[in-house]
Amino acid sequence: SQQGEEDPQALSIQEGENATMNCSYKTSINNLQWYRQNSGRGLVHLILIRSNEREKHSGRLRVTLDTSKKSSSLLITASRAADTASYFCATDPNSGGYQKVTFGIGTKLQVIP
Amino acid sequence: DAGITQSPRHKVTETGTPVTLRCHQTENHRYMYWYRQDPGHGLRLIHYSYGVKDTDKGEVSDGYSVSRSKTEDFLLTLESATSSQTSVYFCAISEGSNGRQETQYFGPGTRLLVL
């Protein structure tokens, strides 16, 4: 079963608008990561936020983490057509020993020019 | 794609034949992973490796085997391909500092069609 679940599964916005995607997870984590996948390509790492961090920025990206609610959000500000892609969250569980990072199903973002 | 190559990039094969996919990295990263990606399922882990000759099963390992005889190469074998194994296969690597996997870097993917 998927540890991380993104919401919504699909999102369509106009260029210039902000896009917000959410990720919920079930168990405690060491960190949470967001990835982007353009059509027909591999995933590309965007940002990692550790369990002791609440917010992180990278360019037009803002990620928040609420460990009490076991949720994270990815905000893309002033979206561009080039941001059209699928976005995945991935969680690194904190349950002792070696645990595998697990990915959600993703949010498909379409930015309309 | 961060020094990761996958071969072949596309393959069409017939049911019942063995297929081997290769992942090669030039980053000397400790961890290597094989995922499959299917509509509605996202990425699912097939097998992973945490060192040479050290491998373990992932979520969907039935019908697949792996080998890692060198740090840079991780092979995925479909012992007897079935139509349900038609998918896009991604290899990924991560450095694994302090025992954590953290950022993964993905290869370009292999599209496999089993007829």
pLDDT reading at B101 higher than 70: no
Residues of A in Cβ contact (< 8 Å) with B43: 43, 88, 103
Q: What local confidence, expressed as pLDDT, does residue A27 receive?
A: 86
**A104 to B42: CB separation less than 8 angstroms, yes or no:** yes
Q: Is the separation of the CB atoms in A75 and A22 below 8 Å? A: no
Pick from B9-13, B93-97, B100-104 the range whose average pLDDT is largest.
B9-13
Facing A92 at nearest CB: one of B41, B100, B107: B100
CB pairs under 8 A between A and B: 54
Q: Which residues are bridge partners to B12 per DSSP?
A: B113
Q: Is the separation of the CB atoms in A100 and B48 below 8 Å? A: yes
B-side interface with A, Cβ within 8 Å?
A: 1, 35, 40-43, 45, 48, 50, 58-59, 90, 92, 94, 99-109
Predicted confidence band of residue A1 (pLDDT cuts 50, 70, 90): very low
Predicted confidence band of residue A102 (pLDDT cuts 50, 70, 90): confident
Which tens digits make up the pLDDT trace of B50-86? 899 999 998 899 999 999 999 999 999 999 999 999 9
Residue A42 contacts B where some CB pair is shorter than 8 Å: yes
Torsion of CA A80, A82, A83, A85, to 10 degrees: 150
Q: What local confidence, expressed as pLDDT, does residue A48 receive?
A: 93
**A98 to B92: CB separation less than 8 angstroms, yes or no:** no
Residue in chain B nearest A3 by alpha carbon: B44
Average pLDDT, stretch A29-38? Answer: 93
Angstrom CA distances, A3 to A11, A37, A71, B111, stand at 21, 19, 11, 26
Predicted confidence band of residue B41 (pLDDT cuts 50, 70, 90): confident
What's the token pair of residue A100? 């595998």
Q: What local confidence, expressed as pLDDT, does residue B35 receive?
A: 96
Q: Which of A101, A102, A105 to mutate to test the interface with B (most CBs of B within 10 A)?
A: A101
